Amino acid sequence: MSDLYGRHRAVLPDWLALYYADPLEITHGEGRHVWDAAGKKYLDFFGGILTTMTAHALPEVTKAVSEQAGRIIHSSTLYLNRPMVELAERIAQLSGIPDARVFFTTSGTEANDTALLLATAYRRSNQILAMRNSYHGRSFSAVGITGNKGWSPTSLSPLQTVYVHGGVRTRGPYTQLSDDEFIAACVADLEDLLGHVRVPAALIAEPIQGVGGFTAPPDGLYAAFRDVLRPRGILWIADEVQTGWGRTGDHFWGWQAHGQSGPPDMLTFAKGIGNGMSIGGVVARAEIMNCLDANSISTFGGSPVTMAAGNANLTYLLEHDLQGNARRVGGLLIERLRAIAAQLPGVREVRGRGLMIGIELVKPGTDEADPDAAAAVLEAAREEGLLIGKGGGHNTSVLRIAPPLSLTVAEAEEGATILDRALRLIP
């Protein structure tokens, strides 16, 4: 056990998860690579949980942070803040939500917490519809709407939560149906459910479930849900903490795969926009955002330094068409991984979109999750110089692949080759 690991265990909570039997200390990074304390170089296919969106040590972001820190680091939202206004203007326009207002937070958890506050205040209801297998954060309210027991340490909640079918296409009671039949069955279930509960405030849903193992419904499911919810006044909150900013390749936001009924009433964002700086937020129609009848501020949300980073990062993302790169390189990587998986009985499915890819592992010849295999592949990939993540609602048996969106074809091939060798080690 390293000295740092021993010190970590002595002062930090037992439930603070660490990857690897011998936990890794990352000391610096550049582009799509990071280095550990021993000087070993790794290709990073997880980006600090989908957060290093463009690249490690991106010069444009580093320069913006340094220059802003040299002027002023902090002021709070009690004062006008030019970088915050500039980033809010850009996000409001990009969101697709009409007459949008933006509130900045310091994390995705806090963003979802704020969206729940707005929805329940606007609708005068504390009942929330959430998806099974979902994850929305670590706060008391966010844990209360998380449909993944591995990440929900208590059933106590200020909200009444009802979980809806549909977030997982290849498991559950509707697996054998066609996509159209799957959507129809989930809509029928939702309509039946609404006949048994008081009118909820909102449905919150990740377009692609992140911690849940990069699972997703067929395109159009949430549009069909919206057709049921809108006449009843029930809001739709799209949790874009992991799917936003072009990561899925096909769309800038995950909700756009379900955009037939228009944009959501609210969307939440975080992670990638800061490229490692602490930025989260909520976008909502003005009438929803302005519904609170009490004062509020944010001490750290919208910090001048984080906003400078966000503006520089967003500019780089758009000017270099990283969404298009995610579509092109991600598509090649998915096909390469599917070709590998076709030869391995322990791989149940390779799924995903753009540079958001999941590899679900099972015990060969069964549908039973194999978390031990996932842990073994994680370790083997690390040994060969590749960092990946894991997740899934079925005992953490899904390998999660989400590199920075500037990933090159050569780097994608390098990572796939390492994963090929690591997966073949599964008994």
Write out pLDDT tens, residues 115-156: 999 999 999 999 999 999 999 999 999 999 999 988 888 888
Tokens linked to 115: 């969206």
Tokens linked to 263: 């944009």
pLDDT at position 261 is: 87
pLDDT at position 395 is: 74
Cβ atoms of 245 and 252 within 8 Å: the answer is yes
Q: Where are the domains of the chain?
A: 3-54+321-423, 62-319
The per-residue b/e assignment along 183-196, b for 16 or more CB within 10 angstroms, e otherwise, is beebbeebeebbee
Cβ atoms of 171 and 360 within 8 Å: the answer is no
At 408 the three-state DSSP class reads: coil
Cβ atoms of 384 and 377 within 8 Å: the answer is no
Cβ atoms of 398 and 374 within 8 Å: the answer is yes
pLDDT at position 204 is: 98
* DSSP 8-class letter at 238: E
Alpha helices by DSSP H, listed for 59-196, are 59-71, 82-95, 108-123, 140-143, 179-194
Domain 62-319 belongs to what architecture?
A: 3-Layer(aba) Sandwich (3.40)
122 vs 288: CA distance, rounded Å: 6
How many CB atoms neighbour CB 24 within 10 A?
A: 17
pLDDT at position 393 is: 82
Q: Enumerate the β-bridge partners of residue 356.
A: 353
Q: Is the dihedral of CA 265, 164, 205, 135 positive or negative?
A: positive
Q: Which residue has the tokens 């990073």?
A: 44
Cβ atoms of 179 and 218 within 8 Å: the answer is yes
Write out pLDDT tens, residues 197-230: 999 999 999 999 999 999 999 999 999 999 999 9
* Torsion, CA 168, CA 121, CA 271, CA 19, rounded to 10: -60
**How long is the chain?**
427
For the chain, the straight-line distance linking the first and the last C-alpha, in angstroms and rounded, comes to 28
Tokens linked to 137: 């954060």
Q: Is the dihedral of CA 89, 323, 222, 392 positive or negative?
A: negative
In this structure, the strands spanning 280-285 and 266-269 are antiparallel
- Ranges of residues in the chain with a pLDDT under 70 are 1, 394
pLDDT at position 166 is: 96
Q: Which residues contact 68 (CB under 8 A, 6 or more apart)?
A: 83, 304, 305, 307, 308, 309
Cβ atoms of 242 and 267 within 8 Å: the answer is no
134 vs 143: CA distance, rounded Å: 10
Q: Which class in CATH covers the domain with range 3-54+321-423?
A: alpha beta
Residue 99 carries which side chain, given as an amino acid letter?
A: D
For all residues of the chain together, what is the average pLDDT? 96
Cβ atoms of 206 and 243 within 8 Å: the answer is yes
pLDDT at position 156 is: 87
313 vs 95: CA distance, rounded Å: 17
* DSSP 8-class letter at 422: H
Angle among Cα 364, 369, 375 to the nearest 5 degrees reads 95
Q: What is the CA radius of gyration of the chain?
A: 21
Write out pLDDT tens, residues 355-403: 999 999 999 999 999 999 999 999 999 999 999 999 998 678 999 999 9
At 204 the three-state DSSP class reads: strand
384 vs 153: CA distance, rounded Å: 34
416 vs 43: CA distance, rounded Å: 11
Q: Is the dihedral of CA 257, 301, 120, 151 positive or negative?
A: positive
Q: Is the dihedral of CA 262, 268, 272, 274 positive or negative?
A: positive
Tokens linked to 244: 């936003």
